[in-house]
Chain A
Amino acid sequence: MDRSQAIRATNAIGLTKSEYGGTASTLCKGCGHNSIANQIQQVAYDLALRPHEVLKLSGIGCSSKSPAYFLGMSHGFNSLHGRMPAVATGALLGNHHLRGIGVSGDGDTGSIGFGQFKHMVRRNVRMVYVVENNGVYGLTKGQFSVTADEGQELKYAGLNDFPAVDLCLEAIGAGCGFVARSFAGNAKQVRELLKAALAHRGTAFLDIISPCVAFNNEDSSRKSYAYGRDHEQAIQEIGWVPQQDEIVIEPTEPGEVRVVPLHDGSRLRLQHLEEGHDPTDRRAAVDRLMRAEASGEFLTGLLYYDPSRRGLAETLGLGEHTLAAMPDARLRPPPEALADMLQRF
């Protein structure tokens, strides 16, 4: 296919890939966040998402700027530092048919917004929650975040005296039913996880290590590209399979292959590279993450999956109508209803 054909190529709803783009990124060249924004654009194109059915949400920080750089035909709300979960909760109650894609950072989620993050996960708001995790504050020039490793040294920030917070463990602790970790340098895995996350009925949490080329990309840093490339240890080979496609498992494939049905009828094909990890076992997931933390392993893949909990809109009994588009007659009872009620007082 020549270049002109590639530009004209469209997906199932007749949109080009560039129509899923946004404004030009103002982040640093090589920033992991740009790569993630590109994968979100690619996935939306591949899945032929209708842009108006997507709502983009973010807090404040480098990561939170990035929703401007993809899906320019989708509404979005760049909210307050650490407060994206509350805005997302409200917006996705106002219109629960929207597919929420939230982008946050490790400071936004792990520090200032830690409480909101855990409470949103607990309520199981149906959305994809991406943390672009680089271990530092970029816009304020390189302070450590809570996901930085204890003992790490950085030129500006000095020595980090405190233990790292593992956001995946926190998500599992708060009751999240879809917890994954990935690496911005592993574009294919990011895409497959995003596709599966979009199919989840509640909050799907993706902690994506996304190197900060300006402040935290020394080879020795565990949030750097070099470290990620050398040490990433995928626990599965992940493939998202649309509802209509058949899943083929070759007898010669190494590792156990597990097929996980997703809420919308699509499936996730997990070829386990690590023997014995059962992503539906909550205790095992916590145990595996704690062991990885102790041994310094950089695990990626779907760490925990449990589709049994209802999303918040389901829990609250919302149905066909969105609250935003609820007919007036359902919102304002008739005069007789007022008269009847007042009889009681």
Chain B
Amino acid sequence: MTLAPTEAPPEPPSPAFDPHVNDFSLVVATANGTGSQTANLTLMRSFFRMGVPVNGKNVFPSNIQGLPTWFHIRVSRDGYLGRKESGLLVAFNPATVDADLRALPAGGAAVIRDDLHPSVARDDITVYALPVKQILEVSDAKGKVRDYLGNMAYVGALAWLLGVPLEVVEHALSVQFGGRRKLVDPNMLIVRAAHAWAVANLEKRDPFRVAPMDLTRDLLLMTGNEAGALGSVFGGVSVVAWYPITPSTSFVDAMREFLPQLRPPQGGERSYAIVQAEDELAAAGMVIGAGFAGARALTATSGPGISLMAEFTGLAYYAEVPAVIWDVQRVGPSTGMPTRTSQGDLAFTYTLGHGDTAHPVLLPSSIEECFEFGWRAFDLADELQTPVFVLSDLDLGMNTWMGERFAYPEGPLRRGKVLSAEDVEARGFARYADLDGDGIGWRTLPGNPHPRSAYFARGTGHNAAAVYSERSDDWVENMERLARKRETVRRAVPAPAVERVPGARAGVIAFGTTRYALTEARDRLAARGQQVSSLRLRALPPSDAVRAFIEEHDVTVVLEMNHDAQLFGILAAAFPDLAPRLRSIAYLDGVPFTAGFIDDRLQPYLAAEEA
């Protein structure tokens, strides 16, 4: 096929911009547990404060102390937030300094702690040696604190090299430490000392610079887990049962921070309960019990926890109990790579249970969507009377992202079909009767004083009145109703975000955090005259809009971060007549896609169409 030419060529970068001004990636290589996170977030927030779009990605080991960790900061005047190979290195880890130097592209630059002695010599990069011990002489801090403060040396040096004003760094540090001067001051002392040392001793020889822009006004910097937790708090969560697991632990940590502040006890009475369960199985059971009782209940976990929740999720689907389950995905199977990102839980989660189950699965891609799905998941769970999954991933959940200020939830809490005692008196009650034709019955909550309001919820066969039944006709009738309910679910879940390019004959379907690299890749393709439409799936089951998108394109490539092309399989099964038009890019190595990767991997499909 011939790809339609662009209507207008993309704007070239302003000539005032050197190619490396506000457009580079920086990687900080340290050892885990050395306290570098504060320094890295301070740097990132400084760039953000200067009005330049940023994203940070922490690539860390499953370890508390000693193993190598890399923090990548993307600085992008074009607003691209996906991963990009780094040209600027801070090398503070003796164990990886050689490899880190080798990985730098020609023209790159490195700030190296001066007591590291790399065996790699490169004449195509710029190297600055930083005397951390000497810089630390201004501080009287001791022991571990002194080691932590050492990280502020590269913050100060980079501030000078990149052109970040010190007052901007101080502001970022203050945000980082919640305004506590006792913490800000000793850190700032080192930043200033390193800055002064750089002014006196360094000659700027690299091309990387940060210059003020105005692209981050009113934006937030937050992790997806914080955003999801905040959304849940505004969604009225009242029971949280969980078991610690990376990368979802910080989701619950955030709730434990937000809830007491935003919903303080009244008259000594709390409006929520948080239970650290003995395992994920029990966490799911508590959530199902609480949902049955009428509370808004949530658990947050990752793949191994999802495995344990299969049993309860199947029960809840069939007993029709609302629940919200966040899965912050990491690389499996089993413990896999526990601190690396993935989209590998999709197929399993979608049909979690021991058969003939299908769940609504929300697929956030940004902190705004984490917040929105945080509250909306409860409305959906209550209205649909079923467990609702929210599939985030480690990249979104644990890394710090820019986003718009969150919109306050629309309308009141939507509780779905719940009968009061008066309703039962007026209308009678049969728990699973489909009175409205949408497959969803009316439920009563325990404690309803009407003598005919009670029912015995169960996983075993039951009729419309929730009475135990092993009759084939009762079973079939119930499953037919649940099939109608699935149609209701399909219409209720968030619609996909579609970006159509007029005349494009190829489309890409993606979900979650691959959106960032995909956006950048599509811009690159467009600049070369290769037009590709995109559909970002925001939920399963797939809606009619997904069918329409596939129908509109000769070829639709399904892009996902897993090994088995899980979404591809789900879409091929959902639209078997359109399956021949689907192609797959499924790849997982634990780090987020880059635009370059997507660009390369799309080429064969685009080229084949052209031929």
Q: Are B265 and A83 in contact (CB under 8 A)?
A: no
The answer to whether A73 and B311 touch (CB under 8 A), given A90-B293, A93-B290, is no
Docked complex Cα distance between A338 and B272 (Å): 18
- Interface size on A, as a range, is 35 or more
- B284 near A: Cβ within 8 Å? yes
B residues less than 8 Å from A92 (CB atoms): 289, 293
Of chain B, the residue at the smallest CB distance from A119 is B278
A42-62 residues at the B interface, CB under 8 angstroms: 50-53, 55-56
Q: Say yes or no: A318-B312 contact (C-beta < 8 A), given A115-B279, A324-B293.
A: no
- Contact in complex: A331, B445 (CB < 8 Å): no
Chain A CB within 8 A of B236 CB: yes
Interface size class on chain B is 35 or more
**Residue among A75, A86, A319, A342 making CB contact with B454, cutoff 8 Å:** A75
Chain A residues whose C-beta falls within 8 Å of the C-beta of B172 in the assembled complex: none
Which chain A residue lies CB-closest to B403? A345
Q: Which residues on A are within 8 Å of B, measured CB to CB?
A: 23, 50-53, 55-56, 67-68, 72-80, 83, 85-95, 97-98, 115-116, 119, 123, 312-313, 316-326, 328, 330-333, 335, 337-339, 341-342, 344-345
Q: Can you identify 8 A-B contacts, CB atoms within 8 angstroms?
A: A51-B454, A55-B446, A75-B448, A83-B281, A93-B273, A93-B289, A123-B275, A338-B408
Which residues from B are CB-within-8-Å of A316? 270, 273-275
Q: Across the interface, which residues of A come within 8 angstroms of B405, CB to CB?
A: 339, 342
**Whole-angstrom distance from the CB of B296 to the nearest CB of chain A?**
7
Partner of B286, one of A87, A97, A332, A341: A87
Pick from A75, A80, A325: contact of B444, CB below 8 A.
A75
| Residues of the B chain whose Cβ atoms lie less than 8 Å from the Cβ of A339 | 405
Give me the 8 closest cross-chain CB pairs, A-B, nearest first. A86-B285, A90-B289, A94-B293, A319-B269, A324-B294, A331-B236, A90-B286, A94-B295
Stretch from B186-194, B455-463, B500-508, B531-539 forming part of the interface with A: B455-463
Q: Is B315 an interface residue (CB 8 A)?
A: yes
A312 to B266, CA, bound (A): 19
Q: Per-position contact with A for B12-43: 1 when CB-CB < 8 Å, else 0? A: 00000000000000000000000000000000
The CB with the most chain A CB atoms within 10 A, among B294, B447, B459, is that of: B447
Interface-lining segment among B227-235, B540-548, B570-578: B227-235
Mask: chain B, 251-291; 1 = CB below 8 Å from A; 0 = not: 00000001001110111111111110111011111111111
* Closest residue on chain B to residue A326 by CB atoms: B271
Nearest B residue to A322 via CB reads B447
B-to-A contact residues, CB < 8 Å: 175, 178, 220-222, 226, 230, 233-239, 241, 258, 261-263, 265-275, 277-279, 281-297, 311-312, 315, 319, 375, 405-406, 408-409, 412-413, 444-460, 467-468
Minimal Cβ-Cβ distance residue in B for A90: B289
Given A52-B454, A74-B454, A78-B460, does the pair A95, B294 have CB atoms closer than 8 Å?
yes
Instruction: State whether B446 touches A75 (Cβ < 8 A).
Output: yes
The answer to whether B456 and A78 touch across the interface, beta carbons within 8 angstroms, is yes
Residues in A neighbouring B453, C-beta threshold 8 A:
52, 75
Contact between A116 and B236, CB atoms less than 8 A apart: no
Partner of B289, one of A52, A86, A317, A337: A86
Tell me whether A341 and B230 are in contact (CB under 8 A).
yes
The residue in chain A whose Cβ has the minimal distance to the Cβ of B270 is A317
Question: Min CB distance, B61 to chain A, in Å?
Answer: 27
Q: Which residues of B contact A72 (CB under 8 A)?
A: 454
Complex-state Cα separation, A328 to B409, whole angstroms: 13
> Is the Cβ of B413 less than 8 Å from the Cβ of A338?
no
